[in-house]
């Protein structure tokens, strides 16, 4: 802005009031709120990593279970096929959600449009948590039934590894269930505040 003396030298009449420059309004966020949001997203990421690790370990343990030629095969039993398939599906889903969490932590925005992301996460967390729970329950019932027969007496290693795979699947369900609670919290925040997290 020019001074009144410079305006007089050029033959202009100086303005009695200095010009006020218009500033665009800035959206300020509390540093504490931003840190809370970041901690929340990191917690979601940790739960996704844990669900991925346990469900993928469960599916791998079940897949490599037959060790001897005379040992039973997991694919001979419907419940064990269900356990393997459910854990593999949850592992792939958790891998996608891990990538989405990294995207959100690094960029501050969701991978999909926000309204789609919150409902996608919540809906799939619910469906896959129930899928995993039903698969592990079916596998547990079959494992208990087999323990009472001669199958586990003759092939103890097969039964032990099957139980380990099912236990890992239950741990994956636990972490997926916790993720589902947090994604439900984000849905509620979106419905109330119009944002996935209240800042």
How do the domains of the chain map onto residue ranges? 32-64+73-193
Biggest CA–CA distance in the chain, Å, is 109
Instruction: Supply the pLDDT for residue 6.
Output: 54
> For residue 126, what are the CA distances in angstroms to 129, 177, 183, 185?
5, 8, 9, 13
User: CA 142 to CA 14: how far, in whole Å?
Assistant: 92
Q: Is the dihedral angle over the CA atoms 164, 169, 172, 177 positive or is it negative?
A: negative
**What does the pLDDT read at residue 2?**
53
CB 83 within 8 A of CB 135: yes
User: pTM of the prediction?
Assistant: 0.75
Q: What is the mean pLDDT of each run of 10 residues along the chain (199 residues)?
A: 54 54 45 73 92 94 77 81 94 93 81 84 92 93 84 78 92 94 87 68
Whole-angstrom distance, CA of residue 153 vs CA of residue 159: 9
Name which of 79, 82, 65, 90 is nearest 174 in CA terms.
90
Residues 6+ apart with CB under 8 A from 67: 157, 158
Residue (of 17, 148, 173, 6) closest to 83 by Cα position:
173
> Which pLDDT value is given to residue 69?
65
The SS3 of residue 133 is helix
- The Cα–Cα gap between 181 and 172 comes to 14
What is the torsion angle, in degrees rounded to the nearest 10, for the CA atoms of residue 91, residue 95, residue 96 and residue 100? Answer: 140
Q: Tokens representing 27?
A: 């959206």
Contact 48, 94 (CB under 8 A): yes
């Amino acid at each position: 802005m020019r001074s009144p003396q410079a305006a007089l030298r050029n033959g202009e009449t100086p303005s009695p009031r200095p010009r006020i420059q218009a500033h665009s309004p800035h959206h300020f966020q509390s540093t504490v709120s931003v840190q809370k949001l970041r901690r929340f997203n990191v917690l979601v990421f940790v739960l996704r990593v844990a669900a991925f690790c346990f469900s993928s370990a469960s599916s791998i343990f079940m897949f490599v279970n037959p060790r001897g030629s005379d040992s039973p095969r997991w694919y001979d039993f419907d419940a064990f096929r269900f356990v393997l398939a459910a854990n593999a599906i949850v592992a792939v889903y958790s891998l996608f959600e891990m990538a989405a969490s990294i995207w959100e932590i690094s960029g501050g925005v969701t991978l999909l449009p926000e309204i789609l992301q919150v409902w996608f996460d919540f809906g799939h967390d619910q469906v896959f948590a129930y899928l995993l729970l039903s698969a592990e329950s079916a596998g547990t019932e079959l494992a208990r039934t087999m323990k009472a027969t001669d199958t586990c007496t003759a092939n103890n290693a097969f039964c032990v590894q099957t139980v380990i795979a099912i236990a890992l699947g239950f741990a994956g369900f636990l972490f997926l269930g916790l993720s589902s609670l947090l994604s439900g919290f984000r849905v509620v925040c979106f419905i109330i505040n119009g944002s996935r997290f209240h800042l």
